[in-house]
Amino acid sequence: MMRQRVTLIFLRGEEMLLLYRNKHGHIYYVTPGGGVEPGETIVQAAMREGKEETSLDFTLGPLLWEREFDLGYETAFLITDFSGRLALGGPEQEAHSPQNIYRLEWHPLAQVNDLLHYPGPVDVDAILWSANGVGNKKQETKNGKR
């Protein structure tokens, strides 16, 4: 069975929120989100994961894309309406240690795909289109293309 993942694109102006990971010297970035638990809807998972990982209060925005990735299936939502104090929480905070570092960071949207990023590249055009009505909105959603 394919793993179902929700991805949350928190956008602050031209910056996107990422979770910096340094796992025993292997550095990479993760988009906030995570797995859909049994009996949970995609929206419920998005709200739970967003609150756990960021501690922010937010309104779930529009669907950005649905696509397959190497470990399953991803559904991404845009979030531009949020408030509160950004702070790591949930399982990530509990797992944080000197050998297993988790840190929330804002990065310029234009540079996000230059980082080693899981679960894969983000569709910057889809994000800009949904946030501002600009960009090149594409229709194809298979294999990471919108």
Return the bridge partners of 104, or none: 19
pLDDT of 133 reads 67
The lowest-confidence range among 52-56, 80-84, 131-135, 139-143 is 139-143
Q: Which CATH number fits the domain that encloses residue 54?
A: 3.90.79.10
Please answer whether residues 38 and 45 qualify as being in contact, where contact means their C-beta atoms are separated by less than 8 angstroms: no
Confidence label for 140 from pLDDT (cuts 50, 70 and 90): very low
pLDDT of 119 reads 79
Average pLDDT over residues 41-66: 96
pTM of the full predicted structure? 0.85
Domain that holds residue 62: 3-144
Question: Number of folded domains in the chain?
Answer: 1
Distance separating alpha carbons of residues 80 and 145, to the nearest angstrom: 22
DSSP 146: -
